[in-house]
Chains A and B, each alone.
Chain A
């Protein structure tokens, strides 16, 4: 089955700890994205990548880092510099199709600071 796989589904982080969220896609999409979703605030873009070995900051990149060493993979690291990391994190990939960019989302990772 083609799709986007995020892991883990639930993640707990201690104060001051870095954690990495995994995102893998087998859709052969060039573009990949990380969003953060908080209640009532919709999806906010953290980082995005158009091609391998290239990525750009989104609207809320502070305290996060990414890498894009392979087309299929776009891991997100939540660093200790992110002061309020508890949120639902969504990874997406996109393709320009039928005159539209259709973004496909993973099932998300819920990160909780304990």
Chain B
């Protein structure tokens, strides 16, 4: 079983709809949670991060963490065709420990249709 599970999609939505993405994980030591966006043939870029449980909002993006369920979510409101990309969740147990290693999910491909 992978440490971080993420549905590969593709997830196809009409423009303006809410995109809902999620990841589940098995390592209870994870405390830092991130979402990256990756366009085709490009490197990932950081979208949002949260620490421990709770919600965080940034513009059209909302990240949620439920540590009790080992479940994180990313919501994209008023989706645009430019949001079409692969979204990767990433997690870390400790940011200051050796390696600051991030464990990634497999990514969900999202397609927003005009």
Contacts and interface: CB of A to CB of B under 8 A. Distances in A.
The answer to whether A and B belong to the same complex is: yes
Chain B contact residues (Cβ within 8 angstroms of A): what range? 20 to 34
Given A40-B8, A102-B49, A31 B106 contact: no
A64 interface: no
A100 B51 contact: yes
B100 interface: yes
B99 interface: yes
B100 A96 contact: yes
B99 A107 contact: no
Most buried by A among B34, B95, B100: B100
B46 A103 contact: yes
A48 interface: yes
B95 A56 contact: no
A101 B95 contact: yes
A96 B32 CA distance: 12
B105 A96 contact: no
Contact of B32 (A4, A100, A104): A100
Contacts of A43: 44, 88, 90, 102, 104
Contacts of A107: 41-43
Contacts of B43: 4, 6, 90, 92, 105-108
A31 B51 CA distance: 21
A90 to B, nearest CB: 6
Nearest to A102: B46
Given A48-B99, A96-B95, A42 B106 contact: yes
B98 interface: yes
B60 interface: no
Interface in B75-113: 88, 90, 92, 95-96, 98-102, 104-107
Contacts of B41: 107-108, 110
B66 interface: no
18 contacts: A4-B43, A31-B99, A41-B106, A42-B107, A43-B90, A45-B101, A45-B102, A50-B100, A56-B98, A96-B96, A96-B100, A99-B51, A100-B49, A100-B51, A102-B46, A104-B46, A107-B42, A107-B43
